[in-house]
């Protein structure tokens, strides 16, 4: 008898689709905001369009740099199921606030939402990966991680395209608002299907010092060279990708302007 594919497993599919809808949602919102800034020439504190676009990437990534170590501790101390569901509720609230930002045209409010989305993703990240050994067999971990990564990049691709397509419409802000709220709600519904898991380290004492906790993580990772090199490689990959994406929008606008003159 053939074994059911992992992606259809009752324990695995909820986390797969929870992270899929979350990653897609982040990129719908972020790309729609970037395109809105690029073509509407919004500005804060006298900053130019290129600077504003670069700020979008920085604002979203900043919480990962500051709070990742703390989020990892919460993932060990609390039930990962509870933590995942909490982050999805947080995403719904953020998207509702983002809808208000789109409707009133407040770039400042949208930037706040972008930072909060980064914070939400920072909390969700450690739980998303560390929950897999509690949901699937050890022999399926490589396959499970591969599926999660595949789903993440597919969601990023779809979200990036969808954000641009929706915001380009005459009623773009309304369409984007509906899309991000619906995506957040679907992700929340998927998270409710996760099995209830007990905390791994309920007695863990949380180190709320953001600097020492981050330094400790780096120091521990350096003890295993393969882990530390992997961290550096992944960090460079995301840094390089984010840099290129921040350039593409302004380049596209310049190209469209030149073509219209021809």
- For 3-62, the pLDDT digits (tens) are 668 888 888 999 999 999 999 999 999 888 888 877 665 556 566 666 666 677 778 888
Q: Per the domain annotation, does 216 fall within a domain?
A: no
Q: How far is CA 249 from CA 83, 143, 164, 185, in A?
A: 35, 35, 10, 29
Q: Using CA atoms, how far apart are residues 91 and 22, in angstroms rounded to an integer?
A: 8
124 vs 241, residue with greater confidence: 124
Q: Per the domain annotation, does 215 fall within a domain?
A: no
Any idea which of 11-25, 47-61, 89-103, 113-127 has the lowest mean pLDDT? 47-61
Q: Among residues 17, 257, 30, 11, which one has the least CA distance to residue 163?
A: 30
Domain boundaries, position 83: 11-209
| Entry pTM | 0.84
Residue 136 tokens read as 């699937």
Q: How many domains does the chain have?
A: 1
Query: In this model, does residue 255 exceed pLDDT 80?
Result: no
What is the pLDDT, as a whole number, of residue 44?
Answer: 62
Average pLDDT, the chain: 84
Q: What is the mean pLDDT of residues 102-121?
A: 89
Residue 171 tokens read as 């009623």
Q: Per the domain annotation, does 191 fall within a domain?
A: yes
The CATH number assigned to the domain holding 70 equals 1.20.1250.20
Q: Per the domain annotation, does 256 fall within a domain?
A: no
């Amino acid at each position: 008898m053939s074994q059911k594919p992992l992606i259809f497993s009752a324990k695995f599919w909820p986390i797969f689709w929870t992270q899929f809808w979350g990653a897609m949602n982040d990129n719908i919102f972020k790309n729609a905001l970037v395109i809105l800034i690029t073509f509407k020439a919004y500005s804060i504190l006298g900053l130019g369009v290129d600077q504003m676009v670069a700020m979008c990437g920085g604002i979203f990534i900043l919480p990962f740099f500051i709070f990742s170590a703390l989020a990892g501790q919460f993932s060990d101390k609390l039930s990962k199921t509870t933590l995942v569901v909490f982050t999805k509720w947080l995403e719904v609230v953020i998207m509702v606030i983002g809808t208000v930002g789109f409707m009133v045209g407040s770039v400042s409010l949208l930037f706040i939402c972008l930072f909060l989305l980064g914070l939400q993703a920072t909390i969700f990240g450690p739980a998303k990966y560390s929950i897999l050994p509690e949901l699937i067999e050890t022999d399926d971990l490589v396959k499970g991680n591969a599926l999660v990564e595949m789903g993440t990049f597919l969601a990023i691709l779809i979200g990036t395209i969808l954000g641009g397509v929706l915001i380009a419409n005459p009623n773009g802000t309304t369409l984007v608002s509906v899309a991000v709220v619906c995506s957040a709600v679907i992700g929340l519904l998927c998270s409710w299907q996760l099995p209830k898991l007990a905390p791994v380290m309920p007695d863990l004492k949380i180190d709320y010092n953001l600097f020492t906790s981050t330094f400790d993580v780096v120091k521990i990772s350096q003890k295993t060279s393969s882990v530390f090199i992997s961290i550096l490689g992944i960090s460079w990959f995301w840094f390089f990708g984010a840099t290129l994406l921040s350039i593409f929008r302004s380049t596209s606008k310049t190209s469209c302007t030149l073509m219209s003159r021809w």
